[in-house]
Structure 1
Amino acid sequence: MTTQLFKSIFIQLTILLLFFHGFGLKAQEQCDVQLGHGLIITEDVIRIVDRGQTRVQINNDNQLFIKGRWKVLDEQNSQVLRQYSLGLRDTVPEIVSLATDGVNLGLTAIEQVVTGFSDKEPEVLKDQLKYVEQALMERFKKGDDFFYIAPQSLSKLDDFFEKEISGKIHSAVHGSLGAILVALGDAFESNEGNIEERISGMGDRMDIIAKEIDRSLQLKAEQLEMKAAEYCGYLKILDETETQLQQIVPQLLEFDLVQVK
């Protein structure tokens, strides 16, 4: 029975990783758009940042500052600025939310699976998941009213999820599996309760958790797949609006944000 349990652990965690890998890939299908600078969006302010410094700032969707200097626009040009600002607000926060929520969903699922077998979350898992979260936050950050996206190619996000994030998750899972096996071995040696009942209970919990993970990640994958083309379309329209705004304020060319390849 012990061998069957160990086999079940490996199979279920492998399925989990495959689902996680899948929705990361579908999120950015066919999206040949580059963000040339970092972008921070809050309730009242949009900031285009470069090397930690704000280069372009839009206040309340109607005031434009470049390198700290206010650019006065007439009513017609202010409408272009507003269209650009609202376009960023309509698109970027949702991209950030789906990216961070997707990863967090996968991390929570892993924690549920591991805790289901070991009755506690191994320290090695906590440590490894910190590296996953750190890698994510370098690209995407989200607060109560704060969204950040780093300069990056949106057509390369599949590589980010597939290689970097997935690799770190593999490390976390493999380390946790070792901790689970050690914990089970200790339990056998110390005769803690009815071990066979404990193993059977873990199997039942695993089945329930696996089904919920399956359902949740599949829904997320479908949602991201449907949104992928929509994001690209919005960003390409946004690039056109940005080009129009650059014609009005040529200084903005230095801080070209949305770049369609």
Structure 2
Amino acid sequence: MFRSLSFAALVLLSALPVLAKNKCDVELSHGLIITDSEIRIVDNGQTRVQINNDDQLLIRGYWVELSEQETQVLYEYSRGIRDTVPELVSLATDGVNLGLSAIEQVVEGMSDKEPEVLKTQLQYVERALMDKFKRGDDFFFIAPQSLSKIDDFFTKEISKKIHSAVHGSLGAILMSLGDAFKSREGNIEDRITDMGQRMEIISREIDKSLQKKAQQLEAKAEEYCECLNTLENTETRLQSIVPSLAAYDLVQIRS
């Protein structure tokens, strides 16, 4: 599963602050699970609102009867979510084979076995990312969060965890190399030099990939903001039709 993550996640959404500075500050107040046939607004692991096939509304498990005109508003709301959120999740989890496989390339050949500390730290990275974003073969998940501050999550929390994984694993490798040197099983100076060269090359390639991703996201920022503004307006219309839905207000925008 480690390969399903990415070093690109470090700054993958670094362009989203443009969204906040130029037009709007967007916050999702509840979690969302989206499948082909359902949209579920969740709170603490419990489904509070469910939309089936874009035209049937359930609140806390109770079906809400809507007129044809009201169902059209529900449809617009459902499609607005589908047109916006899955792309955000995909961008947050894209480039999945770049980063952690690069770490493994550095480790490979440097030691007889992958340090246990690396496996443990990468599990922490995976868990932190999946708590916020998750994409499967048939679903998308996004946790409640401020979308204009996603960059903090990637560039601070995830970055710190990946750095811990790298530093911990390299420390273990150096210890292994020291043992090998003591037992005269290899030339430690040559192997350390090789390790440094590999790190430099891989770091440059990762930086290029991250820069490209940031540029792509910057180009999308205005489009996201407009879509989320429209989604909030549709949500407000739907809440006027179904007042109980206001308790599960999903999109909040602070201009």
TM-score (norm 2): 0.84
How far is the alpha carbon of 1:102 from its aligned partner?
5.3
C-alpha separation in 2, matches of 1:162 and 1:196: 33
Q: Give the direction of change, closer, same or farther, for the CA distance of 1:67–1:230 in structure 2 (3 Å limit).
A: same
* Structure 1 partner of 2:61: 68
1:152 to 135, 145, 149: 145
For structure 1, the residue ranges without an aligned partner over 5 or more in a row are 1-16
Q: Give the direction of change, closer, same or farther, for the CA distance of 1:131–1:53 in structure 2 (3 Å limit).
A: same
For structure 2, the residue ranges without an aligned partner over 5 or more in a row are 1-6
How far is the alpha carbon of 1:222 from its aligned partner?
2.0
* Structure 1 partner of 2:50: 57
Residues 239 and 245, structure 2, Cα contact 8 Å, conserved in 1: yes
Residues 56 and 65, structure 1, Cα contact 8 Å, conserved in 2: yes
For 1:157, the aligned partner's letter is I
2:232 to 210, 235, 239: 239
C-alpha separation in 2, matches of 1:188 and 1:148: 49
* Structure 2 partner of 1:140: 133
Secondary structure at 1:29 match in 2 = helix
Secondary structure at 1:169 match in 2 = helix
Q: Give the direction of change, closer, same or farther, for the CA distance of 1:112–1:236 in structure 2 (3 Å limit).
A: farther
* Mean Cα deviation higher: 52-61 or 206-215: 206-215
* Structure 2 partner of 1:3: none
Q: Give the direction of change, closer, same or farther, for the CA distance of 1:39–1:102 in structure 2 (3 Å limit).
A: same
For 1:91, the aligned partner's letter is T
Q: Give the direction of change, closer, same or farther, for the CA distance of 1:74–1:144 in structure 2 (3 Å limit).
A: same
Residues 34 and 152, structure 1, Cα contact 8 Å, conserved in 2: yes
1:41 to 34, 47, 55: 34
Instruction: Answer yes or no: is 1:214 the counterpart of 2:207.
Output: yes
How far is the alpha carbon of 1:79 from its aligned partner?
1.6
How far is the alpha carbon of 1:193 from its aligned partner?
5.3
How many residue pairs get aligned? The number is 245
Encode CA deviations 1:28-83: one digit per residue, 9 max, x unaligned. 43331111111110111000111221111100111111111212222222121111
1:113 to 93, 106, 119: 106
> Is the helix fraction higher in 1 or 2?
1
How far is the alpha carbon of 1:170 from its aligned partner?
2.0
C-alpha separation in 2, matches of 1:170 and 1:198: 21
For 2:56, the aligned partner's letter is Q
Residues 38 and 151, structure 1, Cα contact 8 Å, conserved in 2: yes
Residues 61 and 86, structure 1, Cα contact 8 Å, conserved in 2: yes
Q: CA RMSD in A?
A: 2.7
C-alpha separation in 2, matches of 1:20 and 1:61: 31
* Structure 1 partner of 2:246: 253
TM-score (norm 1): 0.82
2:70 to 77, 80, 86: 77
For 2:156, the aligned partner's letter is K
Encode CA deviations 1:120-141: one digit per residue, 9 max, x unaligned. 5321111011111111111112
1:164 to 149, 157, 172: 157
C-alpha separation in 2, matches of 1:165 and 1:231: 23
For 2:18, the aligned partner's letter is E
Residues 24 and 162, structure 1, Cα contact 8 Å, conserved in 2: no
Residues 27 and 158, structure 1, Cα contact 8 Å, conserved in 2: yes
* Structure 1 partner of 2:4: none
* Mean Cα deviation higher: 216-225 or 193-202: 193-202
* Mean Cα deviation higher: 201-210 or 133-142: 201-210
Secondary structure at 2:123 match in 1 = helix
* Mean Cα deviation higher: 32-41 or 106-115: 106-115
Encode CA deviations 1:128-185: one digit per residue, 9 max, x unaligned. 1111111111111221111111111112212222322122122112211211211222
C-alpha separation in 2, matches of 1:225 and 1:121: 37
